[in-house]
Amino acid sequence: MRIGRHARLVGLGIVILAALGCAQDDGKDKPSTTGTPVEPPPEPSADLSRNIQKTRLTVDLSTMTGTAVIDLAGSLTGTGASFEATGLEIEGVSRAEGPLKWALSQGQLDVGVPTSQGSAQITIDYKFKEQAQFEGLMEKGSTLVWPYFCGNLFPCHSDPADGTTFELTVTSTPAGMTTVYPSTIGIDAPPYQIAWATGSYTKLDIGTTFQGTHLVAYYLPGGGTDAQKGTERLVDIMNFYETMLAGYPFGGEAGAIAVDWGAGAYGGMEHHPLWHVSTIAMADPWIQAHEAAHGWFGDGVRPACWEDFVLSEGTVSYLEARAITEVFGADEGTKLWAHYQTRLNTAMAGTAPKIAWPEGCGEVDILKDQLFGDIAYMKGAFFFRALEAKMGKAKLDPSLKAFFLKNKGKAAHFQDLLDIVKSVGGYDASACAAAWLRSEAVPAEQVCP
């Protein structure tokens, strides 16, 4: 994600839907088709750690209803499964054989799921509603649930460690408009990755990478020139990432969708394979390069904890600089790093905490504790620049590639990346990472020791 300084940052308030204790009658189970007796539905109980494997969403924009068919990890002992559903009105939960028992309390949906050897599939029918800016479905028709607002749009676990594959179908788009979204995300992805955008879209064909990824852009009325300008070299940018890291992980078609986030919100969001860029930033190739890089870091490999946020934004800010320098030349690269220096200086002069990579896991609130900000983005970028100056691209790049290939579709810690820099690149970056990312200061040396 990248939202400029004029953006109204993601709001801090969480709307607690006061729908307490809506336990349902379980109804009568249908007989099993195999003739084996069907276990009666268990009472609902809480278990937020139950892994979500697959999320199939069907959403109706006219009735504002959704159906989520969710595959959960099987369990032979536990019968609980919980979901974040803060902004949802639950209409029913069922399995193939009939209704399941559930309860909704303080935004958490608890379901009683019969034990099973393999995956357990449940269907949740719900209503959703429009939310405040950047907290779900927004007024202008696009969605954004990063970092933990997915429960305003579909039943989910916002914890980025729990990835899920997605299928999405959006119906009842208003006449004259199109809803643009990926129908499938085929490898485990963080819950904040899925999104859609509704508007009067025109599709622009950008070209195809060496590895066969077809690139597109969708723009709103009057946005054709900006879309063209911002994506003019996107094929080269994507070729750079695919060559340096690995093939694009989210299917054969990718690109940018222009979204109306309002006058002050300059930036984008990593909704791969169709990332969102605000209409006012659509012409900016730096933003496009940034969001594109999230296909590998932030989405393709997701942070295991919010404390590992620098694994997403620090790495991506560095990759953005590498790609821009490679494709647009050294002068543009110098300009970009000067811009980064200004952002770093501004962040250092600000009031947010100065640690880019806090210790622990699951303790920090990325918004309230202000980890979301340029300390993580810019200290992360400059750390990698210092690492590159020490190791050379010839050793750093294969380390990043090895890390990506090992962790594609998985959650990883920033430490895992440092471990691979050591094993593949032959350099122990612990002290340099501590100096840049775990201390409040900015190291005077621009090269790792």
Pattern 265-304, Zn ion, x by CB under 5 A: ----------------------------------------
Find out whether 335 and 321 touch, Cβ atoms under 8 Å.
no
Indicate left, alpha or beta for 332 from its phi (over 0: left) and psi (-120 to 50: alpha).
alpha
For the question of residue 291 being annotated catalytic, the response is yes
Closest distance of CB 192 from Zn ion, Å? 11
Closest distance of CB 294 from Zn ion, Å? 6
Closest distance of CB 267 from Zn ion, Å? 8
For the question of residue 440 being annotated catalytic, the response is no
Alpha carbon distance 345, 348 (integer Å)? 5
Alpha carbon distance 147, 18 (integer Å)? 22
Closest distance of CB 312 from Zn ion, Å? 7
**Residue 311 vs 435, nearer CB to Zn ion:** 311
> Total binding residues for Zn ion by CB under 5 A?
3
Told to check if 1 binds Zn ion by CB under 5 A, we report: yes
Find out whether 53 and 116 touch, Cβ atoms under 8 Å.
no
| CB-neighbour burial class of residue 20 (10 A; exposed 0-12, middle 13-18, buried 19+) | exposed
Closest CA to 185 of 285, 282, 270: 270
- Strands of the sheet containing 164-171, edge to edge, are 98-99, 89-95, 120-127, 65-72, 52-60, 164-171, 184-189
Tell me whether residue 39 is annotated as binding. Answer: no
Token output for 13 = 């308030």
- Looking at 241, 248, 266, 377, which residue is catalytic? 377
- Looking at 84, 242, 291, 320, which residue is catalytic? 291
Tell me whether residue 271 is annotated as binding. Answer: no
Residue partners of 347: CB distance under 8 A and separation at least 6: 373, 374, 375, 378, 379
Residue of the chain from 2, 50, 95, 272 that contacts Zn ion (CB under 5 A)? 2
**Residue 107 vs 295, nearer CB to Zn ion:** 295
**Residue 95 vs 385, nearer CB to Zn ion:** 385
Token output for 252 = 């054969």
**Residue 90 vs 237, nearer CB to Zn ion:** 237
Tell me whether residue 276 is annotated as binding. Answer: no
**Residue 4 vs 99, nearer CB to Zn ion:** 4
Closest distance of CB 320 from Zn ion, Å? 8
Residues 304-323 that bind Zn ion (CB under 5 A): 313
Residue 235: other Cβ atoms inside 10 A? 18
Residues annotated catalytic, as ranges: 291, 377
Binding residues for Zn(2+): 290, 294, 313
Instruction: Please report, as ranges, the residues that interact with Zn ion according to CB under 5 A.
Output: 1-2, 313
